[in-house]
Amino acid sequence: MILENINIEKELVALQRKIVKESNIIEEVKSIWQSDTMAREDIITRIENKTTVSSNHFNFDLLETNKIFHASSIKLICIDYRLRFLDSSLFKNDIPAEAITKVKKLEKVHQTKLDGFKIMAPSKLFKLKNADDPLLFVPMGNDYYYLIHKWGNDMSPLRKIMVLPLKSMSNAIVTIIAISALTTLILPTSKFGSTNITMVKFISFLFVFKSYCAIFLYYSFWKGKNFNSQIWNSKFYN
């Protein structure tokens, strides 16, 4: 007698039908799916709507210490990389599903409902009012924030250098002086016909410096730019 191979899938289906009715399985799965969908929609609503919550309840024994940040550290990073740290209600892009899942998991672990979400991201990702890597935070109180999720691509290391002139007024002046000095060095001042080359270079430097200052001011007013230290937590364009 030849024994036939057993199809485990068919055996499992047959056993399942004996234990639970098919209609009951569908209803149970549907109920779980609806419950999960409602929970996720509730989280999205809380992220998209502005609240005045300044702290959330956590079980501190279950927190990851490397995800806790003070406002002063967040401010310094925002200033260095010209980022904003604003209410999530101002964020104009979609929140990724993975971030929602992490919020849901965190709420389940800590038996709480999170609110007062904040996002750190470049200005272009926010709906700002007139006057490349988002991070989602929630407040813990006393100017501490808990990092829930980061998405998008890593930031270019050149960004910090590119926004350096806009970090502060002193940075802008130092940058203009450095560019003016380099420009003066490459100018053919020896052809001006003067024996006092040092004086010619100094006068040339003053003219170049004044020109770059005018260009910088014109660009700043035209684009409505302000220094990083002034805009890191501002909901306005400038």
pLDDT tens figures, 11-30: 676 666 666 555 555 566 56
Q: In the beta sheet, which residues pair with residue 145?
A: 69, 139
Q: Is the pLDDT of residue 128 over 50?
A: yes
Decide which of 215 and 32 is more confident.
215
The predicted pLDDT at position 103 comes to 92
The predicted pLDDT at position 131 comes to 46
Mean of pLDDT values over 145-168: 79
Alpha helices by DSSP H, listed for the chain, are 8-19, 22-48, 71-81, 97-110, 158-162, 169-186, 197-223, 228-231
> Over the chain, what is the mean pLDDT?
78
SS3 of 233, please? Answer: coil
Q: Is the pLDDT of residue 227 over 80?
A: no
Mean of pLDDT values over 95-102: 89
Residue 204 makes CB contacts below 8 A (sequence gap 6+) with 184, 187, 189
Alpha helices by DSSP H, listed for 111-168, are 158-162
Q: Is the pLDDT of residue 38 over 50?
A: yes
